[in-house]
Structure 1
Amino acid sequence: MVDKVEHSYLETRGLSLHIAHVGKGELGAVLFIHGFPEIWYSWRHQMNAVAKAGFKAIAPDLRSYGLSTQPSETEKTTWEDLVADLLAILNFLSISKEPGRAEADFGRFDVKRLIRTIYILFSRCEIPIAEEGQEIMDLADPSTPLPQWFTEEDLNAYVAPYEKSGFHFPLQMPYRTLYRGTGIADPKIEVPVLLIMGEKD
């Protein structure tokens, strides 16, 4: 049912960006980003399903695609430009900048309980998966003992500094900046490297 979809245009940085959106967004927003050679229309079915589930579904035509205009120097467009366009769209649609899901989930607990819970949950062979409407931190029973290899003394060594500094920055760095450019052209490791990782990691 594409007829429910609204269409808006945002004038930003010399461009006119076309935005398709539907839903009230009681549960938040979902941003759909198309690839080549697609346009917002690629997401029409998913948008209606997401809106029906209580989210605001947003699907722009990226610059130079569909009904959005082209920058004067297309060849100079960077990933940072595309991200800036998306942020401008979210601002235009008044999408709130609340903390991410991890920050909201972790922020409910004091530092000691948070670190204890992380080591209890993620030291198992099978990592638990939260169901819809659940948060990962709710899956741990606070009375579960720490793993044998992680003592109360170890726990306190982690807790003490975070009780002073808090978790706000560590939750965002490097997790939130994982793909930010380093400015290093063609980085190459010149020494032998061995990567070992568990199959269920």
Structure 2
Amino acid sequence: MPQPTPVQHRLVRTPGGRIHLVEQGTGPLVLFVHGFPESWYSWRHQLPALAAAGFRAVALDVRGYGRSSAPAAVDAYRMLDHVEDTAAVIEALGAGSAIVVGHDWGSPIAAHTALLRPDLVTAVGLLSVPYAPRGGPRPTEAFAGLGGDEEFYVGYFQQPGRAEAEIEPDVRGWLAGFYAGLSADTMPRGGEGSLFFVPEGGRLRDRFPAGVLPSWLTEADLDVYAGEFERTGMTGALNRYRNVDRDWADLAPWDGAPVTQPALFLGGTLDASTTWMREAIEAYPTTLPGLVSCHLLEGCGHWIQQERAEEVNRLLIDWLRSPAVGVG
């Protein structure tokens, strides 16, 4: 087994500015795309494992995060812009093509890069958030019908400055509560109310667990995440949510379109993303016909590649080495 090369940080030019990435190893390119509210650092357990297994593992900071460009315009965070960034990174790395793996918001970014740029994406891995093709009503209209008297979190994030006013006075504390609230060992149980709904006049953080970190998150890890957002602010990250209706319009030509490359899906049984979107998983024979491997990890929450790093690494490498993917 090859010894992994040291981690290297790079900035690459894209049509939207620059993307910061972290690279380790040599071999077939596997590109990791994080979600909200995270960074390349969310893949810290995967980079050395895949490098040791003979892959070129690269994790990027999505636009609006970390050292990547953060355009001022809200509409600069459309899905089409993220696809363009991901494609530009693959091309800048000179690999010709890549396997793209995404978590949370990174999952639909990975899926849509595969859908729109099949010339560049040979296989796609989706973590926590299932692929669901464009369709149905306008997203914000659908979200407005959820929660009764309470407001669904995506709707709460829509107005620029509103969520920032909650988060930015105490970035570290807010992140700690959000991570804990969606982790298997610290998420609320029973009647505490859903973390995804905001009561009238309340805040999202009002239902976060207080004073506890999940087992996968050390104080030093939290410092890394908090340090990035304390420097950049939260607007770039939140602007992804503020484009769901624009995405719905932009992607109309691909309404109902399947992603056909060899695929992997990993989710946690305690993750609301996999329970709310159960029908999307059940539709995979139609929407993800190249699905090679699908695993729901029992007792796992949302931060799957950090909560279950060794298990996820094994499943990723097994999938990459499968005959269908054919790169291992």
Give the structure with the higher percent strand.
2
TM normalised by structure 1 equals 0.47
Which of 1 and 2 has greater Rg? 1
| TM-score under structure 2 length normalisation | 0.30
Q: Which has the higher contact order (CA 8 A, sep 6+)?
A: 2
